[in-house]
Structure 1
Amino acid sequence: MVRKAIIPAAGYGTRTLPITKVLPKEMLPICGRPALDFIVEEAINSGIEQILIVVSRSKNMILDYYDRSVELETYLEEKNKTHLLKKISPPNVHFQYVRQTYARGLGEAILLGKHFVGNEPFAVMLPDEIILSNEKEPLRQLIDMFTEVKGNIVGVKKMDPSQLKNYGVIQPELFKNTQYKIKDIVEKPQESPPSDLAVIGRYIFNPTIFSYLENVKPGVGGEIQLTDAIKAMAKEYTSFGLEVEGKCFDIAKMSEYVDLINYIWNSKEG
């Protein structure tokens, strides 16, 4: 049973500057809600009970958003606007936070959740990637597969070859249907990608991932890359890729951020 999720949210948001100088990328507005709220909602709908958000010192807005605002609640009650209370009530999930002092990569952010995770399998959800599905929540798709195979699972999506240089890409071996065994994984291949299956920011890991993260050699800027840990782990433990059903939006790309807003708005009107 997967009950815990880590959401890394400590990055500088350089792809969305200059707005992210003052507004965390995770709090970019999407039809009246912050982007992060879509990730949290997906987690809750997938059965997650505890969420650890990895933040930096400039991300206190995230903590404030998921905390109670007693003053605002009192104001709404006094003005007989109690119908708005539901909109500002914190979601029914237990939040924890940890601060990543320096942005030393996704791998380090996940390592900060080692004590939070304990000996349980857990999810990792990247807030850059919002995935909307008309069927089952994207994370729920991975959890259901984990229930069957008990191995580490990476969410993947077929991408246009021109886009693969921006993603981690797996070398797959067909397991069944839209499930694959991962033979290798390459981070942002500039040429000759091993497949058209790109990693899209949803993962299920067993706690064994931490030993690999602890032994990853830091790369440029001292960053610890999750891809390097997955590559090493896949050589010793069977790891899987699952094609996720749903429409993916990378909100750090302005064109996809706008597409997401239009998609949600048009869906509401329809």
Structure 2
Amino acid sequence: MKRIRKAVFPVAGLGTRFLPATKAVPKELLAVVDRPLIQYAVDEAMEAGIEQMIFVTGRGKNAIEDHFDMAFELEATQRERGKDMSALEGTRLAPGNAVFIRQQEPLGLGHAIWCARDIVGDEPFAILLPDEFMHGTPGCLKQMVDAYEQVGGNLICALEVPMEQTPSYGVLDPAGTNGDLTIVKGLVEKPAAGTAPSNLIVAGRYILQPEVMKLLETQGKGAGGEIQLTDSMAKLIDSQPFHGVTFKGDRYDCGSKAGFIEANFALALERDDIGAHIRDFATKMLARSA
């Protein structure tokens, strides 16, 4: 069983739900407290032992590449002034450990992953969606890699949501459970209201075998008129082990404004430097609006 060494980050989206903030700034660089969403995702991948980060970008996303490059003027100035450099840790990836690929057309998540096929090669790989912010110890991908080492095959992060929310997600059709693992017998992308096979959704983290790339190559358009990753994953289920891993931690949907604010508030409360202040501020604001 090959080790998981590579991770794909699909970051070509336009971030239209956050306009005008994302007109010139990639949504993946929006900060939760003081770290961009993409930095949290890369840190999670590194904790899980990922060695090569593959970013599938689009037009206007050059700032992501700059974020993980050397900032010579900034670093030199900080050193000359004797400033603490710890805030920049993790923002410069080792030479050759960051690969950037363009997705020229917005044809869906499945197409974005397929764009990385030559870099992934014949190895199993991880996928992280940065706006699905997973917060826990150990991180979500580390929990999944640990499960992969036990069962192999394909794994997806599985989370429970209210049934009325299932039309917005890929949904698992479960065949049984074994602790934190759910045996998956089918996947449905954005099922019509009242038709979902469960309330377990696919939540932005995947470990997939390379055979999915061959399926994506001929995958037609699915829900929303896009090439859906879920459709190709569903075809793997009959031939390879497929499990959902229940994440022990908190998930924030930072693709939505409400989820983004929730993540900022939750992480700010955990901080030693600002947590007490934010808690007092929130108490005063709640009292004022009561």
Query: Which TM class, normalised by the smaller chain length?
Result: over 0.9
Counterpart for residue 67 of structure 2: 65
Counterpart for residue 131 of structure 1: 134
Contact 1:46 1:140 in 2 (8 A): yes
**Alignment RMSD:** 1.6
The one-letter amino acid of 1:159's match is V
Counterpart for residue 164 of structure 1: 166
Contact 2:169 2:189 in 1 (8 A): yes
Following superposition, the deviation at residue 22 of structure 1 comes to 1.8
Counterpart for residue 179 of structure 1: 181
Counterpart for residue 3 of structure 1: 5
Counterpart for residue 17 of structure 1: 19
- Considering only CA atoms, is the larger Rg found in Structure 1 or Structure 2? 2
Match 1:224 to one of 208, 218, 227: 227
Is residue 247 of structure 2 the alignment partner of residue 244 of structure 1? yes
Paired with 1:224 and 1:164, the residues of 2 have a C-alpha distance of: 19
Aligned residues: 267
Following superposition, the deviation at residue 219 of structure 1 comes to 3.7
Tell me which moved more, 8-17 or 49-58: 8-17
Alpha carbons of structure 1 residues 24 and 106: separation in structure 2 relative to 1, 3 Å? same
Trace 1:75-86 onto structure 2 (pairs within 5 A): 75-81=77-83, 83=84, 85-86=85-86
Gap runs ≥5 in structure 1: none
Paired with 1:265 and 1:235, the residues of 2 have a C-alpha distance of: 44
Deviations 1:196-252 (A, max 9, x none): 101100000111111111121124776211011011221332311111111000111
Following superposition, the deviation at residue 14 of structure 1 comes to 2.2
Paired with 1:200 and 1:221, the residues of 2 have a C-alpha distance of: 18
Gap runs ≥5 in structure 2: 277-290
Q: Secondary structure at the match of 1:240?
A: strand
Give the TM-score normalised by the residue count of structure 1.
Answer: 0.94
Paired with 2:146 and 2:105, the residues of 1 have a C-alpha distance of: 35
Counterpart for residue 285 of structure 2: none
Q: Secondary structure at the match of 2:269?
A: helix
Q: Secondary structure at the match of 2:22?
A: helix
Counterpart for residue 143 of structure 1: 145
Contact 1:104 1:221 in 2 (8 A): no
